[in-house]
């Protein structure tokens, strides 16, 4: 839970701090691209779900390959800009 924080990276950090060691094996979901996949993967998250379609999608795929994290693309965006 990102605590209503508009900055996705800070939301991730707040959530990781709240959950502590219980993050190991957890799933992480967002309705937007994760510009911080590396930090999420390093934390011990095992599954990341995101809408896909970002020009930086390769970053998330590289992180998936490096850490063995499952990456699910929903192909559904809840906003556009």
Is 50 part of any domain? yes
Radius of gyration of the chain (CA): 12
Half-sphere exposure in the Cβ direction for 10 (13 Å, CA): 5
Is 43 part of any domain? yes
Percent of the chain with pLDDT over 90: 23
> How confident is residue 53, by pLDDT bands cut at 50, 70 and 90?
confident
* Model pLDDT, residue 68: 93
CATH of the domain at 52: 3.40.140.20
pTM: 0.77
Is 59 part of any domain? yes
Domain assignment of residue 39, given as a range: 21-73
pLDDT of 5 > 90? The answer is no
Comparing 15-24, 30-39, 51-60, the range with the smallest average pLDDT is 30-39
**Residue 71: partners with Cβ closer than 8 Å, 6 or more residues away:** 47, 48, 49, 50, 60, 61, 63, 64
Q: Are 46 and 27 a contacting pair, CB within 8 Å?
A: yes
């Amino acid at each position: 839970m990102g605590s209503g924080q508009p900055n996705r990276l800070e939301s991730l950090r707040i959530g990781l701090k709240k959950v502590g060691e219980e993050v190991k094996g957890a799933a992480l979901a967002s309705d937007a691209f994760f510009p911080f996949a590396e930090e999420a993967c390093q934390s011990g998250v095992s599954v990341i779900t995101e809408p896909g379609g970002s020009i930086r999608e390769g970053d998330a795929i590289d992180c998936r390959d490096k850490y063995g994290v499952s990456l699910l693309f929903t192909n559904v965006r809840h906003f556009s800009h």
